[in-house]
Amino acid sequence: MEIQQMRSFLAVASGGGYSRAAEMVHRTQPAVTASVKALERELGIALFERRGRRAALTPAGEALVAEAG
């Protein structure tokens, strides 16, 4: 797990979507998406349920936010 992946994940979790998260971490939206997808692949779990332009945390995503906090 890389720090940039975790920053991107937490930004999406707090911002509710990838575009807002990209603004928060000063990266492009595709870069944030790629970081989160790489983290999900590494962990072998889905962290978000994608709902159009919004992203809702899965139970595993909520647990990771709690661990990071």
- How do the pLDDT tens digits run along the chain, 69 residues long? 899 999 999 999 999 899 999 999 999 999 999 999 999 999 999 999 988 778 999 999 999 999 998
Residue with tokens 């911002």: 15
The Cα–Cα gap between 66 and 63 comes to: 5
> pLDDT at position 34, please?
97
Length of the chain: 69
Q: Which residues contact 19 (CB under 8 A, 6 or more apart)?
A: 29, 53
Indicate the DSSP class of residue 69. -
The Cα–Cα gap between 28 and 67 comes to: 26
